[in-house]
């Protein structure tokens, strides 16, 4: 496994959470699978991969589009998050990314920029013991336009008090990479540094 290093020009670091610091993707997958079976959708790893980086409500809207279902996106999105919360203790840290965050804690400003809900995001941080390394977390509730728009990461930069051009973003989804680049930031895809295990038993 290659070692994850930062760009020498980076003066601040921004981390996505799900699939970047926390290996929550298998947990999210199972939560969707458990909920969507009630609406006649067989949720597969391939389907999940197409929706990477899209918040819960946006995911349900996309599935309505693809399957011709009429799910209430907000309601089903919240059902899914409740299901996720029941099994989220099964998540694991993504070691190379967590190690990098620990290494630069207290050396460079750091923030988390997530498409998830704030309460569950902080709960994830607590489960993995990451709360003490981060003071700044920008969630989907903190911005009008989530990823792939740059707002999440621009808000992180603003809260850290640094220029977007010196921020390096660590992401696992192309939508997040797109958001970072639109924000004028450096971007690193972390999936090259660990093995993705969607669909396997957890």
**Sign of dihedral through CA atoms 149, 113, 3, 106?**
positive
SS3 letters for 107-161?
CCCEEEECCCCHHHHHHHHHHCCCHHHCCEEECHHHCCCCCCCCHHHHHHHHHHC
Residues 6+ apart with CB under 8 A from 32: 43, 48, 59, 80
Rg over alpha carbons for the chain, rounded to the nearest Å, is: 16
Cα(56)–Cα(120) distance, integer angstroms = 13
Contact 101, 132 (CB under 8 A): no
Residue 16 is a catalytic residue: yes
- Find how far residue 146's CA is from the centre of its chain: 11
Inter-CA distances, 129 with 22, 67, 126, 147, 181, Å: 11, 39, 5, 26, 29
In three-state secondary structure terms, 172 is coil
- Please give the positions annotated as active site: 16
């Amino acid at each position: 496994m290659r070692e994850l290093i930062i760009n020498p020009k980076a003066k601040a670091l921004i981390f996505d959470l799900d699939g970047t610091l926390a290996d929550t993707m298998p947990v999210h997958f199972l939560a969707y699978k458990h909920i969507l079976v009630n609406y006649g959708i067989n949720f597969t790893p391939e389907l999940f991969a197409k929706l990477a980086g899209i918040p819960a409500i946006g995911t349900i809207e996309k599935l309505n589009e693809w399957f011709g279902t009429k799910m209430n996106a907000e309601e089903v999105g919240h059902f899914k998050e409740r299901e996720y919360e029941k099994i989220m203790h099964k998540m694991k840290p993504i070691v190379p990314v967590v190690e990098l965050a620990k290494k630069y804690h207290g050396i460079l400003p750091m923030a988390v920029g997530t498409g998830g809900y704030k309460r569950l995001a902080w709960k994830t941080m607590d489960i993995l013991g990451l709360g003490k390394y981060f003071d700044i977390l920008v969630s989907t509730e903190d911005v009008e336009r989530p990823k792939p728009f740059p707002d999440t990461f621009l808000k992180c930069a603003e809260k850290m008090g640094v220029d977007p051009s010196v921020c390096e973003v660590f992401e696992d989804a192309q939508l997040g990479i797109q958001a970072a680049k639109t924000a004028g930031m450096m971007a690193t895809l972390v999936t090259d540094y660990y093995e993705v295990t969607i669909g396997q038993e957890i």
